[in-house]
Structure 1
Amino acid sequence: MSSSDQSMVYVISDSVGETAELVVKAALSQFSQGKAAITRIPYVEDTSTVDDVITQAIENNGVIAFTVVVPEVKNYLLQQAASHNVPIYDILTPMITLMENRLNTSPKNKSGLIHTLDEDYFRKVEAIEFAVKYDDGRDPRGVLRADVVLIGVSRTSKTPLSQYLAHKRLKVANVPLVPEVEPPEELFDVPSEKIIGLTISPKKLNTIRTERLKALGLKEEANYAALERIEEELLYSARIMNKIGCRIIDVSTKAVEETANLIYQLVHHHSS
């Protein structure tokens, strides 16, 4: 089949144009292959580009499908297509109108918003992957790349806090503080305002660790949950936090969500 036998479909968008092209391809899949060729014209923001597409559509007996939402360009496109008898299909307006009536509010009429949402989604995924990779001090290099670094003894909710904050698009690394293990050198190269120390009352931590041992089927008398050991760890962690000069949050009576929101506010207050 020669190109002259094909129909031309011009896909116009004031953004990337992927949405319109997918709709056109879905429609064309209902017909025999080779009957139509698609030309995508993205980022159409001026009337001169509209004139060029209209001219090509006339010359190639083409049709136009579009997802232009900026009123000036959209109206000009519709007017020119009508005056030159070029078949044209508006992909978004029927759905936008339906949503406008249902939601009882006006659309933004801004191009590229779906890609803004996509970027936000990928930032969240990246933050979640970061939290997993740099959890529990696995790779100390992560503290230098993090938006916030959480430090504290075991069972002060460092990991769940890291994941919760990742869903808020923050890259979080966490480092356990253990008396027998020196903190990574990188920790002292991070600005203190980026580090949050987590502390907890000895009795509360004793209860948490005892329950943890039960869940693992281990003896409750293990040194891990011994009050003397816990007090030793907390004293050590307090010295490290004071040396760094970071802000400290007592998580004894706070839910993870409450602590996470507090950290989020502290980080954004500093960056603003």
Structure 2
Amino acid sequence: MNKPIIYLISDSLGETAEKVIKSALLQFGNHREYELVREPYINDKEKINHLLLTIARENAIVGYTLVNPDLRQYIKRRSVELELEAIDILGPMLEAMERMFQKKPRLKPGLSHQLDEAYFKRVEAIEFAVKYDDGRDPRGIEQADIVLVGVSRTSKTPLSQYLALKSFKVANVPIVPEVEPPKELYQTDPSKCIGLKINAKKLNDIRKERLKALGLKASANYAQTERIEKELHYFEGVVKALGCPVIDVSNKAVEETANLILQLQMLR
């Protein structure tokens, strides 16, 4: 027995129709029991008529997402003439919204797939955060909207990524007593720098867990109280020299710290 065929006609990619129809098909079995045929970028009556004749010969059904009301009406009329089962997926919602908003729709296909300026800005910010993570390239400090400064395990990288999703370009600089911070850090606007402070006990616990996850001994110097206190003392000197705001992240989730940083940015 031949599989039932379902055609998807769209004036764009047809992804909307496919998602809706697949959701409905889940109620009737698995994907082996039917065939889906997607027909994208259909925007004139001649193409529609040709498709409908094919669908009628194959005894298939059709679902369609077309923003043009004339084309929707054409499919509706021709499907009745050809005794086809045709489902208008988008039309009734557009018509209801037109009545509610008392406004004509834009009637432009593919709007959900357009990549707007905000999208590109967010992608650029994410790429920036990766490129200038963990002090890899100090040249990013001047270009950044926000510069995070802190010792290891103060959530600099997760914060950078979280803020990047808000379209902020973020660089972060690790503070290590044996390594002088880059000169660019002292040359940039201190108001865009944020020191990430943490208490020694909390940092000790976090670093021990990190060592465990890496399969290393918790007694390593990285998690020793003396070493941690040395790093934190050095960090205090750096942020004091910078004159930048400092946030205590000891008992804060990444989202909470990020919101505080965003508030500081608004004050700028």
TM-superposed deviation, 1:27: 8.0
1:5 corresponds to which residue? none
Structure 2 CA distance for partners of 1:228 and 1:122, relative to 1, 3 Å: same
1:138 corresponds to which residue? 136
TM-superposed deviation, 1:266: 0.7
TM-superposed deviation, 1:119: 1.1
The TM-score, its normalising length taken from structure 1, stands at 0.62
2:184 corresponds to which residue? 186
TM-superposed deviation, 1:100: 5.2
Distance in 2 separating the partners of 1:217 and 1:93 = 58
1:170 corresponds to which residue? 168
Provide the identity percentage.
Answer: 60
Structure 2 CA distance for partners of 1:66 and 1:146, relative to 1, 3 Å: same
8 A contact 1:153–1:178 mirrored in 2: yes
TM-superposed deviation, 1:256: 0.5
8 A contact 1:224–1:230 mirrored in 2: yes
Distance in 1 separating the partners of 2:119 and 2:241 = 37
Distance in 2 separating the partners of 1:106 and 1:117 = 27
How do 1:163-242 residues align onto structure 2 when only pairs under 5 Å count?
A: 163-242=161-240
Distance in 2 separating the partners of 1:25 and 1:269 = 54
- Number of equivalent positions: 193
Distance in 2 separating the partners of 1:255 and 1:144 = 27
TM-superposed deviation, 1:245: 0.1
TM-superposed deviation, 1:97: 3.2
Distance in 1 separating the partners of 2:240 and 2:128 = 27
- In structure 2, what residue type is equivalent to 1:263? I
Distance in 2 separating the partners of 1:206 and 1:149 = 24
User: Which of 228, 232, 251 is the aligned partner of 2:249?
Assistant: 251
Structure 2 CA distance for partners of 1:214 and 1:93, relative to 1, 3 Å: same
Is the partner of 2:195 in helix, strand or coil? strand
TM-superposed deviation, 1:30: 7.7
Structure 2 CA distance for partners of 1:228 and 1:118, relative to 1, 3 Å: same
Give a deviation string over 1:64-110, Cα, whole Å, max 9, x none: x998xxxxxxxxxxxxxxxxxxxxxxxx9975434456xx6566978
Distance in 2 separating the partners of 1:97 and 1:128 = 39
Give a deviation string over 1:117-158, Cα, whole Å, max 9, x none: 711111111111100000000010001100000000000000
2:43 corresponds to which residue? 24
Structure 2 CA distance for partners of 1:197 and 1:30, relative to 1, 3 Å: farther
Distance in 2 separating the partners of 1:93 and 1:225 = 62
Unaligned runs of 5+ residues in structure 1 are 1-21, 33-64, 68-91
Distance in 2 separating the partners of 1:240 and 1:27 = 72
Unaligned runs of 5+ residues in structure 2 are 1-40, 52-65, 69-89
Distance in 2 separating the partners of 1:167 and 1:106 = 35
8 A contact 1:223–1:229 mirrored in 2: yes
**Runs ≥4 residues deviating over 2 A:** 22-32, 92-101, 104-117
Distance in 2 separating the partners of 1:108 and 1:157 = 48
Structure 2 CA distance for partners of 1:105 and 1:29, relative to 1, 3 Å: closer
8 A contact 1:127–1:169 mirrored in 2: yes
